Amino acid sequence: MSQQPSDTVFQEWHDNQALAEQMIPMIGRLYRHNNVVTTLYGRSLFNRSVIRILKDHRFVRKVEGTELSVGDTFPLVQAMGELNLGPAHVDVGKLGVAFKKQGGGDAVAFLRKELAEIVDKHDPAGNNGEPKDVVLYGFGRIGRILARVLVEKAGGGNLLRLRAIVVRGRGDIAKDLEKRASLLRRDSVHGPFDGTISVDAEARTITANGNVIQVIYADSPQEVDYTAYGIDNAVVVDNTGIWRDEAGLGQHLACKGASKALLTAPGKGDIKNIVYGINHDDLSADDRIISAASCTTNAIVPVLKVLNDEFGVEHGHVETVHAYTNDQNLIDNYHKGDRRGRSAPLNMVLTETGAAKAVAKALPELAGKLTGNAIRVPTPNVSMAILNLRLEKETDAEALNDFLRRMSLDSPFQKQIDYVDSPEVVSTDFVGNRHAGIVDAKATIANGKNAVLYVWYDNEFGYSCQVVRILQQMSNVHFLKLPRAGA
């Protein structure tokens, strides 16, 4: 029997690997020197392995119903390096499909037309915007994930810079620094830090991939003078959850060198609760204290937004099946909240959630239409929201899923809504997912005006990515997204 077919398939794989290897330094140079983020249908190609790049290309088949190989995108990435591009997010997947449909040709000429807004816009002096200082007040689960994302996105140093973390002192400072660095370096859920980390005990700094992060020890915001560390006009990200109102969070603004505060929890009173992708345009230059809402609110609001716009939502119930958090107990012990004192890894714990009511802060049109409850379950990360909705328009599961698939792939909500259509996925498959929520198409139920949707979300990593997007908005870090929709 001839082995030619299998040999051909293997050779094709080998050739694609070689092209992906060549693409990696090109993608890196575009990122570091031009502040150009290359994506493939919303999935970043920067700092990705050869196999990951090949898998992302395979993903296009689900999107467009056509194959897109590295051989199709390689000439475009290569040509991008010749065009002196200015800062932008460039989707080479969408460009590759369009280039392939026109039969290929001159890649440089094609890109000069498609990317005309950023061609020859690179500033070699690096004057594409002043770096914005960021301080993490607290260094727990969310704080450390935020640190990872911020370090990863540092690029050419022209975006957000993580300058410091603020924590309480715990005895021996040198030992404390090593422990903080170790927690950043190794994570039982998210795996090892992608890069190098070192500690300077004398300077009280942690250096992660060349980013020097000052560790400031303080028991309260009033004790901190950021200007003493060369930090100025910083956004302070409070990830402790201790203060949730203007009076408490206002303490950060009283510190020298701090200009704004961002809370990684639902805010109280008149504080704006922002879900990036939905109501981030409500932010103004005068807003100095902002809330990034909760992980659950971020997961469900984008899906509810598009459903309400397309089908209308009469009313509904949101049930969250939530991973346990460090607010709960390892074994039975006292907790001020009902039921939360019981052992987290041994029980399913019925509790309350404010996510349903919080939806109205981002989507006022849904005020009073949703109820909610939560069940904490024995898994450390990745949660699920079950949306049981009564719609204004009739639909079926196929039409509903097709609509949500399109929203996840080619809409303004591409980074908020992900979509999966596999009968085999489970919660751990979504660890590290950067979207606010992931629609599980196989679980969708729709009958007339009644619909039930299951939305997964990485309540740590996905939420942290949303927080960073708000940070960029607060800091006026904006990128063109090319090609333009409908182009």
Q: Model's pTM, two decimal places?
A: 0.93
Instruction: Please give the Cα distance from 18 to 331 (Å, whole number).
Output: 52
| Rounded CA Rg of the chain | 23
Whether 295 is a known active-site residue: answer yes
DSSP H/E element including 169: none
Paired strand residues for 167: 217
Predicted pLDDT of residue 4 = 54
What whole-number distance in Å separates Cα of residue 319 and Cα of residue 317?
Answer: 7
Note the pLDDT tens digit of each residue in 442-462: 999 999 999 999 999 999 999
Given a cut of 70, the residues of the chain with pLDDT beneath it are: 1-4, 63-64, 125-129, 156-158, 486-487
Supply the pLDDT for residue 362. Answer: 95
Q: How far apart are CA 362 and CA 352, in angstroms?
A: 20
Of 80, 85, 68, 69, which is closest to residue 120 (Cα–Cα)? 85
First CA to last CA across the chain, in angstroms?
49
pLDDT of residue 365: 97
Q: Is 228 exposed, middle or buried (0-12, 13-18, 19+ CB in 10 A)?
A: exposed
Q: Which residues fall within 8 angstroms of residue 95, CB to CB, at 6 or more apart?
A: 73, 76, 110, 111, 114, 483
What DSSP line would sit under 312-367, residue for residue?
-EEEEEEEEEEE--TTSBSSS---SSTTTTSBGGG--EEE--SHHHHHHHH-GGGT
Q: Specify the CATH architecture of the domain 295-460.
A: 2-Layer Sandwich (3.30)
132-265 adopts what CATH topology?
Rossmann fold (3.40.50)
Q: What is the pLDDT of residues 350-387, one digit of tens each?
A: 998 888 889 999 999 999 999 999 999 999 999 999 99
- Write down the domain spans for the chain: 4-114, 132-265, 295-460
Report helix, strand or coil for 168. Answer: coil
Strand order of the β-sheet with 88-91 is 43-44, 36-40, 88-91, 480-482
Question: Does residue 395 contact residue 446 with C-beta atoms inside 8 Å?
Answer: yes
Q: Give the DSSP letter of residue 484.
A: P
Of 19, 79, 213, 295, the catalytic one is 295
What distance in Å separates the CA atoms of residue 91 and residue 45, rounded to the nearest whole number? 10
Q: Look at residue 1 in the predicted model and tell me its pLDDT.
A: 43
